[in-house]
Amino acid sequence: MKIILLGAPGSGKGTQASLITEKYNLPHISTGEIFRENIKNQTPLGVKVKEVMDSGNLCPDDLTIEIVKDRLSKEDCKGGYMLDGFPRNLTQAKALDEFLAPDIVINIDVDIKKIEHRIVGRRSCSKCKGSFHTDFIGNTEICPDCGAKLVIRKDDNAQTVRERINVYQNQTSPLIDYYTAQNKLCSVNGNQEIDDVFSEIVKVLG
């Protein structure tokens, strides 16, 4: 099964991806996480993308596409993949179609008005990469899943969120039509509780 999770920033891609990987045992590939790991480790790639990521804009297509192709060539992707945050524009979608096209694209549809609250209150685990919200976990700095330290992402602030939403609306949302035309798009209501969104996804995946 080759799955793409599509959705605005804060729509719940990472949250649902963790649940999907657990149930279906697919490799979870998040380009955002790959970039953040590289920034943390100060690799040449990390140095290259740090500024653009902090601003909420997209990293260069050629770089991103190469990273994804390389990752999809690994042994664990032989049985499928779950891409979270890729593709993010038509250039990336066309490159993926040429390389290893998806079977299904799950679009997590969420009210734009909810996004800022979700993102500003997010706490991310530095170790297991889990995504939590202060609404549910309060002000703790300890990951409820693995006990490591929770951090606030550099791009999780009100100003950068607005830029990320603009980027989503201008560059990523056209993918909804692109995959609808291919008969691969399934939309789920991302405004519901986390478990209810997941139930809808499970139904879609059959």
- Which residues participate in catalysis according to the annotation? 13, 88, 122, 153, 164
**Is residue 197 a contact residue for ligand AP5 (CB under 6 A)?**
yes
Nearer CB in complex with Mg ion: 13/118: 13
- Give bridge partners of residue 77 from the DSSP assignment: none
Q: How many chain residues interact with Mg ion (CB under 5 A)?
A: 2
Torsion of CA 92, 62, 45, 50, to 10 degrees: -60
Q: How far apart are CA 52 and CA 55, in angstroms?
A: 5
**What is the footprint of Mg ion within residues 3-32 (CB under 5 A)?**
13-14
Q: Which amino acid makes up residue 3?
A: I
Reported residue count of the chain is 206
**Is residue 28 a contact residue for ligand AP5 (CB under 6 A)?**
no
- What is the x/- site pattern for ligand AP5, positions 160-179, by CB under 6 A? ----x---------------
Q: Which residues fall within 8 angstroms of residue 83, CB to CB, at 6 or more apart?
A: 3, 4, 5, 29, 31, 68, 96, 102
Stretch that binds ligand AP5, among 26-34, 73-81, 98-106, 140-148 (CB under 6 A): 26-34
**Is residue 11 a contact residue for ligand AP5 (CB under 6 A)?**
yes
**What is the footprint of ligand AP5 within residues 112-151 (CB under 6 A)?**
118-119, 121-122, 131-133
**Is residue 38 a contact residue for ligand AP5 (CB under 6 A)?**
no
Closest of 201, 181, 182, 8 to residue 103, by C-alpha: 182
Positions that interact with ligand AP5 (CB under 6 A):
7, 9-15, 30-32, 35, 52-53, 56-59, 64, 85-86, 88, 92, 118-119, 121-122, 131-133, 155, 164, 193-194, 197
Positions that interact with Mg ion (CB under 5 A):
13-14
